[in-house]
Structure 1
Amino acid sequence: MPATYAERFPTQVRLSGMAVGTQFGFAVAGFAPLIESAPMDK
């Protein structure tokens, strides 16, 4: 999978593109339990 990520971005922005994409994914995954449990509290 890391090779696939590296091939998605040109060389000039490869590190930034992978870092932003990964961190955005971690942020969404981190808040997923909170978002999922919000409708159950009502």
Structure 2
Amino acid sequence: EWAKAFNPFFAGENADWLAMIPFGILALILYYVGRELLLSGKKTRA
């Protein structure tokens, strides 16, 4: 009862979209790591 009334992630019109936010953030982080924009280490000059 309490979760339905006060937690928008649990129930409501936009609960599915709100639940996707953490997965979207994780997907962006993994994308940037894969493109070596994050956690790429030191770049050496050739």
TM-score by length of 2: 0.49
Q: Give me the identity figure in percent.
A: 6
Aligned-residue offset at 1:25: 0.9
More helix by share: 1
SS in 2 for 1:10: coil
- Following superposition of structure 1 onto structure 2, how do residues 1-42 of structure 1 map, counting pairs within 5 Å? 9-12=9-12, 13-33=14-34, 34=36, 35-37=38-40, 39-42=41-44
Please identify the structure whose Cα radius of gyration is greater. 2
Task: Give the letter for the 2:15 counterpart.
Answer: R
Kindly state the Cα deviation for residue 11 of structure 1 after the two structures are TM-superposed.
0.7
Structure 1 residue 36 displacement after superposition: 1.4
Unaligned runs of 5+ in 1: 1-8
Which letter does structure 1 place at the counterpart of 2:26? G
CA RMSD of aligned residues (A): 1.7
